[in-house]
Amino acid sequence: MENAWQRFKQNVPLRRFVVLLVIIALLYEMRAMMNTILLTFIFTYLVVHLIRLVQRHIPKIPSGVIVSITYILILLCLYFAVTIYLPMLVKQISKMFKSVLAFYESDSMTGIMRYVSRYVNRNELVTQAKTGMSVMMKTLTSVGTLTVSIFMSLILSFFYTIELKKMNEFSNLFVKSGIFKWFFEDVRYFGRKFTNTFGVVLEAQFFIALCNTALTMICLAFMKMPQIIALGLMVFILSLIPVAGVIISLIPLSIVGYSVGGIRYVIYIFIMIMIIHAVEAYVLNPKFMASKTELPIFYTFLVLLVAEHFWGTWGLIVGVPIFTFFLDVLGIKPTKKSKKKAVLK
């Protein structure tokens, strides 16, 4: 029995496979906390990345000072967002919904709706309305849950980054432990792999989303579209979905554009989205992704479909980074390492 245990510990591929299964099982048991876990990782990754960036140019500044200033700025931004921009956003979203309703109540849509109503049972419409109300209630509940998750993630990431050096020293003690030393070594191995793939790809997608949102809002401003802030927020959220996000945003933008300027604005928005999609595909992806994934578009869409089925909205955002992580672990297609030093150890 002891010889079998020793052979197991010396068989590194088998040992790491078992450790990976244990990690997946633990995450599955903690799936109710997945929002908090993912958001904590994202916030921690970005803040630690900021610490490394600042200290590269100003080596003498303590990490605690950088973290304190960062989170003070975050709190100030949240305060101004809640007190100033949230009412403005709610007002613009309500106007956007009114524009969409006006589109559906227009003369061109009235005839279509009459034609459709001939073939749709009234009871079926009532059932669909009830389903829509239940979805709305679930959405409101999920928004409240997500708010709590964001708040908890900010607190956890703050305590991690404010004691970054102490956290790294304490974490290294696990690797130096006795009987389970090999287990924590493998956990550290997967942690570094995960940071190098998931963190880097997600960070790149975040900057791509910012660029897409900025370009879209500039174009919408030239078109004198209403509710630019609300539309910009929608474009930013959808742009976090690789490849498909920009195309998905075409539908709501076209509806609002039609309600404002008719079919002419729909054509303008279609041309705008195609140009922005080309900029993302041929300029932003090569620059920010730095050829880290190089996934074919077919695989990207396939991963998004499967990830959305299993993880919902989160799957659209983290599906591609997680798939890239598994490719790296399996040695199918190693992710090219970033020139920057991994920030989470």
Q: How far apart are CA 246 and CA 240, in angstroms?
A: 9
Q: What is the pTM of this model?
A: 0.68
* 290: amino acid identity, one letter: A
Q: How far apart are CA 280 and CA 210, in angstroms?
A: 11
Structure tokens at 96: 């956007």
Structure tokens at 106: 């227009």
pLDDT digits over 175-187, tens only? Answer: 877 677 888 888 8
Structure tokens at 273: 């989205």
pLDDT of residue 24: 87
CA 293 to chain centre: 17
Query: Which candidate, 151, 157, 146, places its Cα nearest to that of 46?
Result: 157
> Is the C-alpha dihedral spanning 133, 139, 140, 145 positive or negative?
positive
pLDDT of residue 121: 52
Query: Which candidate, 297, 267, 255, 268, places its Cα nearest to that of 280?
Result: 297
Token pair 């696990």 is at which residue?
A: 174
pLDDT of residue 113: 56
Q: Which positions of the chain have pLDDT values less than 50?
A: 125, 129, 132-133, 135-136, 139-140, 290-291, 338-343, 345
CA 253 to chain centre: 21
Angle value at C-alpha 211, between 214 and 241, nearest 5 degrees:
110
DSSP symbol at 281: I
pLDDT of residue 52: 85
Percent of all residues in the chain with a pLDDT value above 70, rounded to a whole number: 72
Q: How far apart are CA 220 and CA 92, in angstroms?
A: 14
pLDDT of residue 339: 46
pLDDT of residue 89: 62
